[in-house]
Amino acid sequence: MNLTTRRGFLAALAGAGAAGLSGFLWQHEPAFAAADSAGQFTNRLRLPGATGLYTAVTAREVKQITVSEVSFEVLPGIPSPFWAYVAEVGGKRLLNPTLLARPGDQIQLRMINRLKQPTIIHWHGLTNDQRNDGVGTYQVGPGAAFDYAFTVRDRAASYWYHPHPHDIAGEQAYKGLAGLLIVKDDDEDVLARALDLALGVTDIPLVIQDRSFNFEGKVEYKLSREQMFMGFLGEAILVNLTARPYFDAARRIYRFRILNGSNARGYRLAFAQGSRLLDYHLIGTDGGLLEQPLKVRESIIGAAQRLDVLLDLRSASGNEPVFLKSLAFDPMHNESVDEKTGKPPAGATQGAGADPHAAHAAPGAIADGTEMPLLRINIKSSPEYKRQVPSRLSRLPKLAVAAGEPRRLTLGHDGKGNWNINGWRFNMHETPVTVQRGARETWLLRNNRASMPHPIHIHGFQFRVIERRDSPAQVKALATRQNGLLPQDLGLLDTVLVWPGESVRIALDFSHPFTGDQTYMFHCHNLEHEDTGMMIGYKVKA
Amino acid sequence: MKNALLIVLFAAMGAGSALAQREPGAMYLAQAPSANLKTGKGTGLIQQIDRDKGAVTIKHGPLQGLDMPAMTMSFPVKDKAMLLKLQPLQKVEFELTYDGRNYTITKIK
């Protein structure tokens, strides 16, 4: 076999994407884990600035968003095709602007699609009628426009907007389409004053996404059928579209609004100084502030989820940098285990069934669950800061749990490479679930053992988690004493991560002001799962 | 059918793993060193840097002069000092030699 042929053979095998084949020619040892050396994190973290990426702008001022392909240097000095939400405000051209609003604000804007494929913007986490929710049912083709008009009805929180066309949401989000919509209210104002916080300075959005690049350094999205089944795992982790980022900080309290904007990857987030993990406070979730801060050392965040945290850098010792890290965890890619026993199939000595926890990844990709630093925080000398984390933050709506049996929804796959919910796969014209407007329901989300973690997102209504059962040990280890709930389960959510073998009970209140029947979606926010059918339409009957 | 495919794939993977355990750039030992040193050049994106071993992993395009298609591969460098200014995810142009046994990067920027 000559060299080229043999190489081709190996590359073909690796390209086949079969579980466990990663790293034929090269096994990715996370480049950044080898040394938390200063030299590895040399790019200043991108922050909402006066112009360009992520600029904060009042949502009411934005009258038009053009969905466009632009040229953007994701990696320094390397222009790459990049898809962006482009807004022109006050003579400035903004990419993926951070939209600011307050409850009650009226937002009216026109989306113009300049892509060569259909798209639609989904306002993730907001309570909207079906049309303004923005899903594939309303997607518009190239050159077409779509007018949004809605009122912000939800609590203050870090929401986000991203594409939701049928079958291609993953590709579009991956190529750049995602922005934050930050809603503020009086509680937020009190907190900002108490801690002297300013957006983009000491109140920092952190959008964590993984990406792969071709050999020219351009963003690349090419997935095999098998990779679609697992979800995209990239070769590099970006924070605010910054590779190997650093951030210069003062010795004071910072607020980090963390969005896991990755297509499929989860993170176990901690702040570390050397080998020491720093305490931090969880203060909010998808749906806004908790009632009181919760001291934690680590939090797992699934795709599409948000965590709002306070880090007090006065607890760091000396000037050694602090790293935002993802700690190692078991990614539980257990899709091939025996459903009854939870163990690999009998006789499996190697291959997909041999290691049920194997973090399947394409060649070169960082395996899911890998320990890695994400952001270096340099501690600089600064004036004395005497503020303290407040003991109260906000009030959550009273939790009202429906009586009676829950609606059962089982997450699984058909053994042929298709994820489903209760055996259903997405059909634009079907709504297998109907609920009554104004009704309260409990949904029991049960993930099969032969599965992988699924971040389940429900459109139209935020919800509360009321119980976790049969959680894996690594989740139980983080649980509070209350019904197995995680700290972030104590807030309002629009997306909940459900682990293999786990059952999660959530409480929903289907009250809303919209007349007429409304159709929404719930789906796995592993975007490759969503795109391949792990999504269900449900009807709210008026 | 699927199992059969996996067996074939993993049998092949065993061979691949053995290859992968060798030193960077020494994956193709079947060919003896040649007096005819070949030279090539290419562009790529740095994936990893091993300063101790003096090797750099590059996702590269087709290598001119060496009949090598685009792939990701670890290469030793002629001098470890060449690695000092390199960073992961940096786009580089590089030149290398192939003596029939090993690839060695001679220039990289």
pLDDT in tens, B25-59: 444 444 455 568 999 999 999 999 999 999 999 99
Kindly state whether residues A493 and A529 are assigned to the same domain. yes
Residue A68 has pLDDT above 70, yes or no: yes
A460 within a domain of the structure (yes/no): yes
Q: What is the pLDDT of residue A358?
A: 56
A227 within a domain of the structure (yes/no): yes
Question: CA of A350: which chain B residue's CA is closest?
Answer: B10
Q: Look at chain A and report how many structural domains it folds into.
A: 3
Kindly state whether residues A324 and A355 are assigned to the same domain. yes
The first and second tokens of residue A222, run together, are 């090419």
Q: What is the pLDDT of residue A400?
A: 85
Kindly state whether residues A122 and A207 are assigned to the same domain. no
Q: Look at chain B and report how many structural domains it folds into.
A: 1
Q: Which helix (H) or strand (E) holds B7?
A: helix B2-20
Is B73 within 8 Å of A26 when comparing Cβ atoms? yes
A296 within a domain of the structure (yes/no): yes
Q: Which of A48-57, A229-238, B38-47 has the lowest mean pLDDT?
A: A48-57
Residue A8 has pLDDT above 60, yes or no: no
Kindly state whether residues A179 and A54 are assigned to the same domain. yes
Average pLDDT over residues A105-110: 98
Instruction: State the CATH number of the domain containing residue A256.
Output: 2.60.40.420
A27 within a domain of the structure (yes/no): no
Is B45 within 8 Å of A216 when comparing Cβ atoms? yes
Q: What is the pLDDT of residue A24?
A: 32
Domain coverage including residue A244 = 197-379
Q: What is the pLDDT of residue A354?
A: 47
Q: Which of A454, A526, A460, A540 has its CA nearest to residue A494?
A: A460
Kindly state whether residues A426 and A506 are assigned to the same domain. yes
pLDDT band at A399 (very low <50, low <70, confident <90, very high): confident
A434 within a domain of the structure (yes/no): yes
Q: What is the pLDDT of residue A361?
A: 62
Domain coverage including residue B63 = 2-108
Residue A513 has pLDDT above 50, yes or no: yes
ipTM above 0.95, yes or no: no
Q: Which residue in A1, A29, A350 is closest to B48 by CB distance?
A: A29
Q: Which helix (H) or strand (E) holds A227?
A: helix A225-230
A305 within a domain of the structure (yes/no): yes
Kindly state whether residues A416 and A320 are assigned to the same domain. no
d(CA A195, CA A390): 8
Look over chain A and give the mean of its residue pLDDT values, rounded to a whole number.
91
Kindly state whether residues A319 and A417 are assigned to the same domain. no
Kindly state whether residues A278 and A180 are assigned to the same domain. no
Instruction: State the CATH number of the domain containing residue B97.
Output: 2.40.50.320
Q: Which of A167, A193, A219 is the last residue of a domain?
A: A193
Is B6 within 8 Å of A75 when comparing Cβ atoms? no
Mutation target vs B (from A3, A225, A360; most B CBs, 10 A cutoff)? A3
The first and second tokens of residue A449, run together, are 């053992």
A38 touches chain B (CB under 8 A): no
The first and second tokens of residue A86, run together, are 């482009």
Is A25 within 8 Å of B71 when comparing Cβ atoms? yes
Q: How many inter-chain contacts (A to B, CB under 8 Å) are there?
A: 105
pLDDT band at A423 (very low <50, low <70, confident <90, very high): very high
A115 within a domain of the structure (yes/no): yes
Mutation target vs A (from B8, B34, B45, B67; most A CBs, 10 A cutoff)? B45
Q: Which chain A residues have a beta carbon less than 8 Å from that of B28?
A: 3, 6
A396 within a domain of the structure (yes/no): no
pLDDT band at A445 (very low <50, low <70, confident <90, very high): very high
Kindly state whether residues A420 and A334 are assigned to the same domain. no
The CA–CA distances, whole Å, from A216 to A222, B60, B89 equal 15, 8, 10
Residue A18 has pLDDT above 50, yes or no: no
Which string of DSSP letters, residue by residue, matches A62-82? --EEEEEEEEEEEETTEEEEE
Q: Which of A14-28, A270-284, B61-75 has the lowest mean pLDDT?
A: A14-28
Kindly state whether residues A217 and A332 are assigned to the same domain. yes
Predicted model pTM:
0.89
pLDDT in tens, A282-332: 999 999 999 999 999 999 999 999 999 999 999 999 889 999 999 999 999
A396 C-beta neighbours (distance < 10 Å), count: 16
Kindly state whether residues A308 and A177 are assigned to the same domain. no
Distance between B106 CA and the closest CA of chain A, angstroms: 19
Kindly state whether residues A201 and A182 are assigned to the same domain. no
Residue A30 has pLDDT above 70, yes or no: no
